[in-house]
């Protein structure tokens, strides 16, 4: 008798422990059951609980805003080298599943938590900031002023009795803009759209022939998208750490002329304009020239007017400052988009299928011709050589 | 035969097999239908841009042709995923695989030829897309930027990951039907995990962990891990990442994504060779 | 040319090839003869490197089939498999050109043209093989195998499905290759005119090489074997199985012919068993309308080798072989 080894042969080799064909039908069912199981969990609404929170008055590059840091927020984001106020409080907090945010019931409870704010770098306390009354932008508040260079820190409140207030420890990310640039806020002459912004020099302004646009230059700063989003809304779940976002921080006040480069250059001056609301059911607005002599009220805005004519398919614009120097980052390309029968764009899409059908038909014809030449079965007289 | 001669001969075999498969693909109407469909998608996206410009007077765009190219790359990847998943299984099913291995064809040369053919098809598709986009850019007066060429180059690397995974799946199966079912199952699993992850995260969005229902916490943990695993295993995730990197203009991440895609492809190719050797050609 | 040493292949508990020691000399025509399931094709697949052996060794052209020798070996081998598989999308010319490129055949177009002329395929280079007859497909497979002018030609069941003229053509091919000094290894379960050209025949049964003999010696063992052609009045579908159980019946072929009423019964020994056969058919409910005995002669086209033939071929009685 021959003993055979129990080594698995290649014909019984399986890559997966269970054939995919058997497994596949059950997977959607399993996932659906899991997700349905999660549904009852959603209906459980947390109660209002008394919690330690921070209330903030923070600078966002343009001005100060009020922020709120419930226990769910583990990290506070602040701009570097700016005064911000962090105020430790106790209040009643409740979670709203519909909005996905915690809300503070300040009216029922709004108690200041006594103690000093400690700022740590690593495990070392680098600053201790007492709470004081402050006025920022005519808004009086009680809290600790925090102004730090860029870096990662931690904050906590040390109570008067020397203990750390539970729930007060949070991470602190202090950040600065990656770069500064010049952006434009743009509106068309009439319409019903929000102003558009162009902040990246790689942006291209595409406009139709005859469009009249108004450009207002702004100083723009580029921030980390995640940090800036959480700065403005600490409970926000959006924002990506690997993305960057431009923020218009203030108008560019030393603006000179806008230079349009068609090959030859044209200067455009900044002029005042006013906005007329269009009456009745038309909705929208219209930008009209401002006559300083005739008008009683001041202009609504000052901007550079850009007229997209039929003669120039594309050109470059850039801003000069009051001293006539080109402002870095102010260059933009303008492209005139012609009126195109949109459906004509689909014509190109049909070409590949046309080519494919032609190739197949011509090959089929070649094969049909060849098949007709198929000889009768051999009669055995051919000799092998 | 020394190693150099072996690889030289292997390369010649791969080219012969690749040329044949490429020839088959060129006479496949589905290739042209895919090209037409993707160009139509690009036309639709660009038409929307043009109508928006005509309606609003202006629009600010930085990479208007990048999104259509991304759409084309995704659709092409799906086409190639199906083509590469069926290629080895079909030959095994029909018996032509065994006939090939009667001759001086080994697993490396054979599969390399398959990869070359699929990548040749993709290169052809990319050339057509770039030509179509260039023509559209001319008609609409959109900027045909350098980063489109970089995106096309990146998509070749990420598509090689799709192709090698498809070929790996194909080596596992003896019939086209079971190979396609497996591909479908994997695609549905990816989709299911993504949807599950998004759903669970929407339930827990903003909630402090202490307020979670334990089941919800467990589900969130499970789906987060599954999502991470699937994202690192999905070739299409590399494509998406690559285009995202281009939009953000990060050169270092671009190079990293290309490198990771090529490494992924190499690993999948190695596994495919190993599988074909273990499973045999019958 | 071919040397195997205790070559073995197992599939779980089944041993398909069992310690096979095969030695085929250069320039020899060697036939591996045995019934279906004897392990012949498995042996060929192991020689070609398509199936890995469970144990044992192989040497082809004095080289072991390690990865470094893979191309050196395979480039010198031409194979015609049992079943022919072609690409649906390729014409005959394209198919042969593809394989010529794989083998790196020099002056490929000339070589293809001359081989196609030789086999009678020169009039149909632009047709697809799938539309052709079995004979045409077989010819195409031979041309493919001969493209690299191989030193070793391996044929798996080369006469399966061929008619007399096809068998003659294959025989001429084998003889021509042998005269050119090539080695031919044939695997077959049919002893036909082709196998009779062999210098040596190895009898394979249940994975073992039981004996080797010359073609003439083998045929002498089979000489005198009887064959009776039967025609029944009505179809009798269970008859072949019932007759095959009889001790004096070696094999039953059929049914064939109009309404599936014809059978060929191969008998053991040289005693006249017509009466016993007739009685057996009647017991099973069959009505014989014609019975034609035939003795197998040297020139007979084909004899299908079955399990029952093994003892005779190896030189044992049936009873001893069963033990």
Domain-terminating residue out of A153, A175, A197:
A175
More confident residue, C118 or B35: B35
Q: Which residues does chain A have within 8 Å of residue B189's beta carbon, measured at their own beta carbons?
A: 27
Does A258 share its domain with A154? no
- Residue C322 domain-assigned (yes or no): no
> Which chains would you list as touching C if contact means 3+ CB atom pairs under 8 Å?
A, B
Same domain? For A100 and A122 the reply is yes
Q: How far is A186 from chain B (nearest CA, A)?
A: 9
Same-domain status, A188 and A332: yes
Range with lowest mean pLDDT among A251-260, A352-361, B125-134, C302-311: C302-311
pLDDT in tens, A182-236: 999 998 887 766 789 999 888 999 999 999 999 999 999 999 999 999 999 999 9
pLDDT given at position C251: 81
Residue C259 has a pLDDT of 73
Tell whether B174 lies on the interface with C, counting CB pairs under 8 A.
Answer: no
A131 and A150 part of one domain = yes
Chain A touched by B135 (CB under 8 Å): yes
Does a structural domain hold residue C152?
Answer: yes
Q: Kindly report the CATH number assigned to the domain that includes residue C183.
A: 3.40.50.300
Domain boundary among A295, A317, A337: A337
Contact partners for chain A, using 3 or more CB pairs closer than 8 A, are: B, C
Question: B119-157 burial string, b = 16+ CB within 10 Å, else e?
Answer: bbbbeebbebbbebbeebbebbbbbbbebbebbbebbbb
Task: Tell which of C197, C221, C245 closes a domain.
Answer: C221
Containing B176, the helix (H) or strand (E) segment is helix B176-204
Residues of A in contact with B25 (CB under 8 A): none
* Chain B residue with minimum CA distance to C74: B104
- pLDDT tens for residues B1-32? 677 888 899 999 999 999 999 999 999 999 99
Q: Mark whether C17 and C135 lie in a shared domain.
A: yes
Report the pLDDT averaged over residues C145-172.
87
Whether residue C232 sits in one domain with residue C121:
no
**Contact residues on chain A for B121, CB-CB shorter than 8 A:** none
Contacts of B203 in chain A (CB under 8 A): 38, 41-42, 97
Residues of A in contact with B58 (CB under 8 A): 186, 188, 196, 205-208, 211, 213, 308
Distance CA A220, CA A237 (A): 24
Interchain contact B146–A (C-beta under 8 A): no
8 Å CB contact of B96 and C87: yes
A10 chain-C contacts, CB cut-off 8 A? 51-52
Give the confidence band of A353 by pLDDT, cuts at 50, 70, 90.
Answer: very high
Dihedral (CA of A38, A44, A48, A50) sign = negative
Which residues from B are below 8 Å from C79, CB to CB? Answer: 102-103
| Chain C nearest CA to B48, separation (Å) | 42
What pLDDT does residue A230 have? Answer: 96
Q: How many residues does the structure list for chain A?
A: 385
Do both A140 and A288 map to the same domain? no
**Does a structural domain hold residue C317?**
no
Q: What are phi and psi of A57, to 5 degrees?
A: -130, 100
- Domain C-terminal end among C221, C243, C267: C221
Minimal Cβ distance to B47: which of A235, A244, A342: A342
Does C42 reside within a domain? yes
Band the pLDDT of A20: cuts 50, 70, 90: low
* A22 pLDDT higher than 70: no
Please indicate, yes or no, if residue C312 is contained in any of the structural domains.
no
**Which residue from C68, A317, C2 is spatially nearest to B9, judged by alpha carbons?**
C68
Q: Residue A98 sits in a domain of what CATH number? A: 2.70.50
Determine which helix (DSSP H) or strand (DSSP E) holds C119, and give its type and residue range: helix C108-119
**The predicted structure's pLDDT at residue A15:** 42
Q: What is the dihedral of CA B144, B150, B153, B158, to 10 degrees?
A: -110
- On whether both A89 and A112 belong to a single domain, the answer is yes
Residue C310 in domain: no
A368 touches chain C (CB under 8 A): no
Place of tokens 């001669």: B5
Average pLDDT over residues A297-311: 91
C300 located within any domain: no
Cis (ω within 30 of 0) for the bond into B219?
Answer: no
Question: Same structural domain for residues C99 and C58?
Answer: yes
B33 compared with C120, residue with greater pLDDT: B33
Task: Give the mean model confidence (pLDDT) for residues C55-73.
Answer: 88
Computed over every residue of chain C, the mean pLDDT equals: 83
Cα–Cα distance, C262 to C256 (Å, whole number): 5
Partner-chain contact A34 B57, CB within 8 Å: no
A382: chain C residues, CB-CB within 8 Å: 118-120, 169
H or E element: which one contains C256? strand C249-256
Q: Which class for C82: exposed (0-12), middle (13-18), buried (19 or more C-beta within 10 A)?
A: middle
In this structure, the strands spanning A84-96 and A111-112 are antiparallel
Does residue A253 lie in a domain region?
A: yes
Instruction: Identify any residues that bridge with C136 across adjacent strands, giving them in sequence order.
Output: none
Same domain, C102 and C238: no
Chain B interface mutation, best of C11, C73, C84, C85, highest count of B Cβ atoms under 10 Å: C85
Give A13 or C299, the one with higher predicted confidence: C299
Residue A37, pLDDT score:
62
Question: 3-state DSSP call for residue C202?
Answer: strand
Bridge partners of residue C20, in order along the sequence: C7
Do residue C68 and residue B102 have CB atoms under 8 angstroms apart? Answer: no
Subunit contact B182:A313, Cβ cutoff 8 A: no
Q: What is the pLDDT of residues B206-228, one digit of tens each?
A: 777 666 678 888 888 889 899 99
Confidence of residue A133 (pLDDT cuts 50, 70, 90): confident
Q: How far off is chain B from C195, nearest CA to CA, in Å?
A: 22
Q: Chain B closest CA to C74's CA: distance in Å? A: 5
Bridge partners, residue A95, by sequence: A102
A102 belongs to a structural domain: yes
* Pair A189, A287 in one domain: yes
Per-residue pLDDT, averaged over C158-184, amounts to 84
Task: Give the number of domains in chain C.
Answer: 2
Please report the residues numbered 172 through 231 in chain B whose beta carbons come closer than 8 angstroms to any beta carbon of chain A.
172, 178, 181-182, 184-186, 188-189, 192-193, 196, 199-203, 205-213, 215-216, 219, 222
Query: What gap in Å lies between CA B27 and CA B37, rounded to an integer?
Result: 17
C-beta atoms of B280 and C50 within 8 A: yes
- Is residue A305 a part of any domain in this protein? yes
Residues A263 and A318 grouped into a single domain: yes
Task: Give the distance from residue A350's alpha carbon to the nearest chain C alpha carbon, in angstroms.
Answer: 26
Whether C187 and C242 map to the same domain: the answer is no
> B99 vs C81: CB contact, 8 Å cut-off?
yes
> Any chain C CB within 8 A of the CB of A11?
yes
> What are the chain A neighbours of C132 within 8 Å (beta carbons)?
374
- Domain, as residue range, for C191: 2-221
Give the confidence band of C76 by pLDDT, cuts at 50, 70, 90: very high
Inform me whether the C-beta atom of residue A220 falls under 8 Å from chain B C-beta atoms: no
Residues B140 and A337: their CA atoms lie apart, in Å, by: 6
A194-233 burial: b if 16+ Cβ within 10 Å, else e: eebbbbbbebbbbbbeebbbbbbbbbbbbbbbbbbbbbee
Read off the pLDDT of each residue in A118-132 and give the average, rounded to a whole number.
94
Q: What average pLDDT does this structure show over A4-32?
A: 51
- Domain presence at residue A343: no
- Whether the pLDDT of residue B276 is over 70: the answer is yes
Digit-coded pLDDT (tens) for A48-91: 889 999 999 999 998 999 999 999 999 999 999 999 999 999 99
Distance in Å, alpha carbon of B120 to nearest chain A alpha carbon: 17
Q: Tell me which of A131, A154, A175 is where a domain ends.
A: A175
Q: Do B16 and C89 touch (CB under 8 A)?
A: no
Query: How many angstroms separate the CA atoms of A368 and A115, rounded?
Result: 94
More confident residue, C123 or C58: C58
Q: Work out the percent of chain A whose per-residue pLDDT is above 90.
A: 52
pLDDT of residue C320: 39
Residues 6+ apart with CB under 8 A from B78: none
| Pair (C192, C276) in one structural domain | no
A56 and A121 fall within a common domain:
yes
| A99 and A117 fall within a common domain | yes
Same domain? For C115 and C132 the reply is yes
* One domain, residues C66 and C200: yes
Q: Is the pLDDT of residue C172 over 90?
A: no
Q: Is residue C91 part of a domain?
A: yes
Task: Indicate whether C151 and C271 sit together in one domain.
Answer: no
Provide the residue range defining the domain that includes A138.
49-175
Q: What per-residue confidence (pLDDT) applies to C220?
A: 65
Nearest-by-Cβ selection for A345 from B46, B188, B213? B46
Query: Which residue bears the tokens 């007229």?
Result: A307
Query: How far apart are the C-alpha atoms of B168 and B182, rounded to whole Å?
Result: 11
SS (H, E, C) chain B: CCHHHHHHHHHHHHHHHHHHHHHHHHCCHHHHHHHHHHHHHHHHHHHHHHHHHHHHCEEEECCCCHHHHHHHHHHHHHHHHHHHHHHHHHHHHHCHHHHHHHCCCCHHHHHHHHHHHHHHHHHHHHHHHHHHHHHHHHHHCCCCCHHHHHHHHHHHHHHHHHHHHHHHHHHHCCCHHHHHHHHHHHHHHHHHHHHHHHHHHHHHCCCCHHHCCHHHHHHHHHHHHHHHHHHHHCHHHHHHHHHHHHHHCCHHHHHHHHHHHHHHHHHHHHHHHHHHHHHCCC
Contacts of C161 (CB under 8 A, 6+ apart): C134, C138
Q: Are residues A84 and A161 in the same domain?
A: yes
- All residues of chain B having their beta carbon less than 8 Å from the beta carbon of residue C75 are 103-104
Domain end residue (candidates: C221, C255, C282)? C221
Give A234's contacts in chain B (Cβ within 8 Å). none
Q: Is A376 on the interface with C (CB under 8 A)?
A: no
Q: Would you say residue A73 lies in a domain? A: yes
If asked whether residues A230 and A196 sit together in one domain, one would say: yes
Q: Is there a contact between B102 and C79 if contact means CB atoms under 8 Å apart? A: yes
Contact list in A for residue C123 (CB cut-off 8 A) is 373-375
Residues C188 and C239 in one domain: no
Q: Report the domain count for chain A.
A: 2
Q: Is residue A94 a part of any domain in this protein?
A: yes
Mean pLDDT of C36-43: 89
The verdict on a CB contact (< 8 Å) between B60 and A196 is yes
């Amino acid at each position: 008798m021959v003993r055979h080894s129990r080594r698995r042969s290649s014909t019984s080799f399986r890559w997966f422990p269970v054939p995919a064909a058997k497994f596949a039908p059950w997977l959607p069912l399993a996932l659906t059951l899991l997700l349905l199981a999660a549904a009852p969990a959603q209906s459980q609404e947390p109660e209002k609980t008394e919690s330690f929170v921070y209330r903030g008055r923070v600078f966002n590059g343009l001005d100060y805003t009020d922020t709120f840091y419930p226990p769910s927020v583990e990290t506070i984001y602040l701009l570097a080298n700016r005064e911000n106020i962090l105020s430790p409080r106790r209040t009643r907090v409740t979670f709203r599943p519909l909005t996905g945010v915690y809300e503070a019931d300040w009216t029922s409870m709004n108690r200041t938590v006594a103690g000093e704010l400690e700022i740590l770098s690593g495990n070392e306390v680098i600053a201790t900031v007492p709470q004081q009354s402050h006025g920022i932008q005519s808004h009086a508040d009680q809290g600790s002023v925090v102004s730090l260079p860029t870096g990662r820190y931690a904050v906590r409140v040390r109570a008067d009795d020397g203990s750390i207030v539970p729930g007060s420890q949070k991470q602190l990310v202090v950040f600065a803009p990656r770069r500064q640039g010049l952006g434009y806020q743009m509106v068309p002459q009439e319409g019903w759209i929000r102003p558009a912004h162009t902040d990246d020099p790689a942006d291209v302004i595409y406009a139709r022939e005859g469009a009249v646009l108004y450009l207002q230059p702004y100083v723009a700063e580029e921030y980390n998208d995640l940090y800036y989003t959480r700065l403005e809304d600490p409970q926000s779940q959006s924002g990506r750490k690997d993305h960057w976002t431009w923020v218009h921080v203030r108008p560019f006040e030393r603006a000179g002329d806008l230079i349009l480069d068609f090959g030859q250059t044209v200067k455009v001056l900044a002029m005042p304009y006013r906005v007329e609301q269009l009456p009745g059911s038309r909705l929208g607005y219209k930008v009209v020239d401002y006559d300083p002599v005739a008008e009683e009220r001041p202009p609504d805005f000052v901007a550079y007017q850009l007229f997209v004519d039929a003669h120039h398919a594309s050109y470059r614009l850039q801003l000069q400052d009051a001293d006539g120097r080109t402002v870095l980052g102010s260059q933009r390309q303008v492209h005139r988009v012609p009126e195109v029968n949109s459906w004509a764009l689909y014509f190109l899409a049909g070409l590949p299928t046309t080519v494919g059908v032609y190739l197949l038909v011509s090959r089929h014809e070649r094969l049909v011709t060849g098949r007709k030449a198929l000889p009768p079965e051999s009669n055995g007289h051919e000799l092998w050589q | 035969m020394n190693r150099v001669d072996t690889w030289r001969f292997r390369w010649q075999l791969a080219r012969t097999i690749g040329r044949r498969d490429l020839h088959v693909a060129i006479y496949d109407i589905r290739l042209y239908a895919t090209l037409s469909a993707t160009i139509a998608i690009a036309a639709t996206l660009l038409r929307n841009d043009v109508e928006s410009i005509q309606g609003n007077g202006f629009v600010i765009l930085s990479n208007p042709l990048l999104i259509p190219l991304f759409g084309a790359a995704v659709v092409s990847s799906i086409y190639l995923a199906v083509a590469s998943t069926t290629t080895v299984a079909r030959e095994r099913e029909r018996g032509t695989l065994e006939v090939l291995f009667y001759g001086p064809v080994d697993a490396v040369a054979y599969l390399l030829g398959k990869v070359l053919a699929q990548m040749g098809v993709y290169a052809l598709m990319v050339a057509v897309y770039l030509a179509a986009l260039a023509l559209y850019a001319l008609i609409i007066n959109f900027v045909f930027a350098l980063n489109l060429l970089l995106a096309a180059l990146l998509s070749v690397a990420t598509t090689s990951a799709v192709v090698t995974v498809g070929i790996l799946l194909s080596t596992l199966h003896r019939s086209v039907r079971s190979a396609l079912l497996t591909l479908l199952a994997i695609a549905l699993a990816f989709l299911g995990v993504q949807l599950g992850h998004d759903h669970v995260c929407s339930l827990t969005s903003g909630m402090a962990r202490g307020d979670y229902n334990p089941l919800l916490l467990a589900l969130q943990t499970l789906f987060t891990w599954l999502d991470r695993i699937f994202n690192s295993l999905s070739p299409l995730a590399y494509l998406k990442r690559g285009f995202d990197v281009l939009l953000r203009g990060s050169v270092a991440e671009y190079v990293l994504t290309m490198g990771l895609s090529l490494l992924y492809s190499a690993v999948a190719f190695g596994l495919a060779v190993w599988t074909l050797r273990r499973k045999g050609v019958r | 040319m071919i040397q195997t040493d205790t070559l073995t292949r197992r599939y779980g508990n089944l041993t398909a090839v069992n310690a096979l020691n095969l030695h085929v000399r250069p320039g020899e025509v060697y036939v591996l003869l045995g019934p279906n399931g004897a392990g012949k094709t498995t042996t060929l697949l192991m020689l070609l490197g398509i199936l890995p052996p469970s144990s044992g060794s192989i040497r082809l052209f004095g080289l072991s089939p390690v990865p470094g020798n893979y191309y050196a070996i395979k480039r010198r081998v031409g194979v015609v498999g049992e079943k022919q598989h072609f690409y649906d999308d390729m014409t005959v010319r394209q198919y042969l050109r593809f394989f010529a490129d794989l083998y790196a055949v020099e002056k490929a177009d000339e070589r293809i043209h001359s081989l196609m002329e030789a086999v009678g395929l020169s009039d149909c280079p632009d047709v697809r093989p799938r539309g052709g007859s079995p004979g045409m497909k077989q010819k195409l497979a031979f041309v493919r195998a001969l493209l690299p002018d191989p030193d070793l030609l391996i044929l798996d069941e080369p006469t399966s499905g061929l008619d007399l003229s096809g068998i003659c053509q294959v025989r001429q091919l084998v003889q021509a290759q042998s005269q050119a000094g090539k080695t031919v290894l044939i695997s077959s379960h049919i002893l036909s005119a082709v196998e009779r050209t062999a210098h040596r025949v190895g009898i394979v049964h249940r994975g073992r090489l039981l004996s080797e003999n010359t073609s003439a010696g083998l045929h002498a063992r089979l000489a005198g074997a009887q064959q009776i052609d039967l025609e029944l009045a009505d179809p009798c579908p269970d008859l072949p199985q019932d007759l095959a159980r009889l001790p004096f019946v070696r094999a039953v072929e059929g049914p064939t012919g109009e309404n599936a009423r014809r059978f060929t019964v191969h008998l053991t020994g040289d005693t006249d068993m017509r009466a016993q056969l007739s009685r057996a058919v009647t017991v099973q409910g069959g009505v014989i309308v014609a019975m034609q005995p035939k003795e197998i002669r040297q020139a007979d086209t084909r004899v299908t080798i079955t399990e029952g033939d093994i003892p005779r071929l190896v030189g044992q009685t049936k009873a001893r072989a069963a033990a």
